[in-house]
Amino acid sequence: MTRQPTFSPFRYACFPGRAPRPLAWALVALSALRPGAVAAQRVSSTFDLSGVKLRYADTVDAGAATLSPSLTFSWPRGSADVAASLSQFDTGDWAAQGSLVGAVFVPVARWLAGEVAGSTGGSAHQDGTSTGQGLGTARAHVLTPDAGLWIGGGIGRVWDGDLWQGLRHAEAGGWARLGRAALLATVSPTAVGDTTRYTDAQVFVRWTMARLELGGSAGWRFGSRLPAYGGGGTAWGSANAVLWITSRIAVVAGGGSYPVDPTQGFPGGRYASVGLRLSSRQRTPEAGWAGRQARESAEAIARGATDFVVSAAPDGERTLRVRAPSAQRVEISGDFTGWKPIGLAPAGDGWWTVVVPIAPGTYQVSIRLDGGKWLVPPGLMAIIDEFGGAAGLLVIEDTSL
Question: Could you report the per-residue pLDDT of 172-184, keeping only the tens digit for each?
Answer: 999 887 877 889 9
Query: Any idea what the CATH number is for the domain that residue 95 is in?
Result: 2.40.160.40
- pLDDT tops 70 at residue 34: no
- pLDDT tops 60 at residue 11: no
Residues 269, 320 within the same domain: no
Buried b (16+ CB within 10 A) or exposed e, 185-218: ebebbbbbbeebbbebbbebbbbbeebebbbbbb
Q: Does a structural domain hold residue 298?
A: no
Query: Any idea what the CATH number is for the domain that residue 354 is in?
Result: 2.60.40.10
Residues 253, 339 within the same domain: no
Q: How confident is the model at residue 286 (pLDDT cuts 50, 70, 90)?
A: very low
Residue 241's SS3 state is strand
The mean pLDDT value of the chain amounts to 79
DSSP string for residues in 299-360: HHHHTT--EEEEEE-GGGEEEEEEE-TT-S-EEEEEGGGTT--EEPEEEETTEEEEEEE--S
Into how many domains does the chain fold?
2
Residues 307, 240 within the same domain: no
Residues 240, 377 within the same domain: no
Q: How confident is the model at residue 61 (pLDDT cuts 50, 70, 90)?
A: confident
Domain housing 330: 303-396
Q: How confident is the model at residue 33 (pLDDT cuts 50, 70, 90)?
A: very low
- pLDDT tops 80 at residue 103: yes
Q: Does a structural domain hold residue 239?
A: yes
Residues 208, 325 within the same domain: no
Residues 56, 98 within the same domain: yes
Instruction: Decide: 329 and 346 in contact? Cβ < 8 Å.
Output: no
From residue 270, give the alpha-carbon distance in Å to each of 50, 52, 251: 16, 10, 21
CA gap 93, 86 in Å, rounded: 11
Residue 125 one-letter amino acid: H
CA gap 93, 85 in Å, rounded: 14
- The predicted structure's pLDDT at residue 292: 43
Q: Does a structural domain hold residue 287?
A: no
- The predicted structure's pLDDT at residue 252: 95
Q: Which residues does 198 contact at the CB level (< 8 Å), separation at least 6? A: 189, 190, 221, 222, 223, 224, 226, 262
Residues 260, 127 within the same domain: yes
- The predicted structure's pLDDT at residue 282: 54
Q: Which residues does 182 contact at the CB level (< 8 Å), separation at least 6? A: 23, 27, 175, 176, 205, 206, 207, 289, 291
Antiparallel, parallel or unpaired: β 94-109 and 374-375: unpaired
More confident residue, 271 or 107: 271
Alpha-carbon dihedral sign for residues 22, 173, 391, 349: positive
CA gap 254, 233 in Å, rounded: 19
CA gap 319, 4 in Å, rounded: 57
Residues 239, 369 within the same domain: no
Q: How confident is the model at residue 86 (pLDDT cuts 50, 70, 90)?
A: very high
Q: How confident is the model at residue 42 (pLDDT cuts 50, 70, 90)?
A: low
More confident residue, 180 or 29: 180
Residue 398: is it exposed, middle or buried by C-beta count within 10 angstroms (0-12/13-18/19+)? exposed
More confident residue, 144 or 48: 48
Q: Does a structural domain hold residue 389?
A: yes
Alpha-carbon dihedral sign for residues 217, 220, 226, 228: positive
Kindly report, residue by residue over 176-234, the tens digit of the pLDDT.
878 778 899 999 999 988 888 899 999 999 888 778 889 999 999 988 666 655 555 68
Neighbours of 164 (CB within 10 A): 11
Last residue of a domain, one of 279, 294, 320: 279
Instruction: Decide: 131 and 159 in contact? Cβ < 8 Å.
Output: yes
Closest by Cα among 125, 123, 58 to 89: 125
Residue 66 one-letter amino acid: T
% of the chain beyond a pLDDT of 70: 77
Q: Does a structural domain hold residue 289?
A: no
Kindly report, residue by residue over 340-395, the tens digit of the pLDDT.
999 999 998 899 999 999 888 888 899 999 988 888 888 787 776 544 567 888 88
- pLDDT tops 80 at residue 72: yes
- The predicted structure's pLDDT at residue 6: 53
Q: Does a structural domain hold residue 360?
A: yes
Residues 181, 77 within the same domain: yes
Q: Does a structural domain hold residue 291?
A: no
- pLDDT tops 70 at residue 149: yes
Residues 327, 275 within the same domain: no
% of the chain beyond a pLDDT of 90: 37
CA gap 327, 325 in Å, rounded: 6
Q: Does a structural domain hold residue 229?
A: yes
Q: How confident is the model at residue 111 (pLDDT cuts 50, 70, 90)?
A: confident
Kindly report, residue by residue over 232-270, the tens digit of the pLDDT.
568 999 999 999 888 789 999 999 998 888 877 778 889
CA gap 97, 276 in Å, rounded: 19
Q: How confident is the model at residue 281 (pLDDT cuts 50, 70, 90)?
A: low
- The predicted structure's pLDDT at residue 91: 85
CA gap 329, 343 in Å, rounded: 8
Q: How confident is the model at residue 30 (pLDDT cuts 50, 70, 90)?
A: very low
Instruction: Decide: 384 and 284 in contact? Cβ < 8 Å.
Output: yes
Residues 261, 359 within the same domain: no
- Note if the pTM is more than 0.85: no
CA gap 346, 305 in Å, rounded: 14
- The predicted structure's pLDDT at residue 232: 54
Residues 316, 266 within the same domain: no
- What average pLDDT does the segment 140-161 reach? 88
